[in-house]
Amino acid sequence: MKILITGAAGQLGKELSIKLNHHYDVYAMSRAQLDITQPKQCEEVIGRIRPDAVIHTAAFTSVDLAETQAEEAYRVNVSGTRNVAVASEKIGAKFCYISTDYVFDGQTMSPYREIDLPNPIGIYGKTKWAGEEIIRALTSKYFIVRTSWVYGMYGNNFVKTMVKLAKERDEIQVVNDQTGSPTYTADLADFIEKLILTEQYGIYHASNSGSCTWYQFAKAIFEECGMTTKVIPCTTEEFPRPAPRPKFSVLDHLSLRAEGFEEFRHWRDALRQFLNQIKV
């Protein structure tokens, strides 16, 4: 099986590239090898390789920067997604698009299901939702995988940032009024591998089980590491950021259950394994 991965230098793209390379013919494409904003390049590269599946992880993911660079976020997340989708559809490849919990507005207190209507509140979420809509319109064999609060071995993420700050400070302030589900890239990559081998197309919410606030997440990181850094809870208003964020973006795994996939392990168990792996 030939698998082409866009955004292969990102934290999920790299995880997938390394994991899948053991069993499949993997074409890991960083931006230098495939600029998704160039339609002709997408058509030429994908048409030449003719993968059986394309996993589209490439994205403009800087939530705050997207607010001031809306055109660039659109160019990557919407136009770029269209370019890869069109090229994939031309050769009949399965198309797996990585989306986000930020397609929801967070104005609920019950986990979002795949059948709930998105209503993004920031530019990042709006462009990712537009990408989803384009895929649904232009491809016939698609998997839309929404995930949340991703961390892993490669690239920068919240877990690595907290561990670094704990070595530099005695106390850290973290918001305690945004709730979601941390997701370990190793678990997410395992699921994506299983998914693309099927023809069970559609939308999937894929995150580790359970939920927490960023404050609770930070406390768990330090507890698992045996660090004594004090975590002080604060509100979103006390820690202002350029982009609005959903207050509650926990994802329910209705599609996983309905389609016979196993739900992910609890986020705390995944976190423990990750911290052991990076030997904090």
Are residues 156 and 12 in contact, defined by beta-carbon separation less than 8 angstroms?
no
C-beta neighbour count of 169 within 10 angstroms: 11
Cα–Cα distance between 142 and 125 in angstroms, integer?
Answer: 19
CA torsion 196-201-203-207 (nearest 10°) is -30
Residue 76 sits at φ, ψ, to 5 deg, of: -85, -55
Q: Mapping DSSP to helix (H, G, I), strand (E, B) and coil, where does residue 214 land?
A: helix
Out of 97, 124, 142, 151, pick the active-site residue.
Answer: 124
d(CA 4, CA 39): 16
Distance (Å, rounded) from C-alpha 66 to C-alpha 233? Answer: 26
- Based on the residue annotation, tell me whether 124 is a catalytic residue of this protein: yes
Secondary structure of 25-85 in HEC code, one letter for each residue: EEEEECCCCCCCCCHHHHHHHHHHHCCCEEEECCCCCCCCHHHHCHHHHHHHHHHHHHHHH
Q: How far, CA to CA in Å, does 24 sit from each of 1, 7, 21, 113, 245?
A: 6, 18, 5, 32, 37
Cα separation, 204 vs 100, in Å, equals: 11
Question: Catalytic amino acids?
Answer: 124
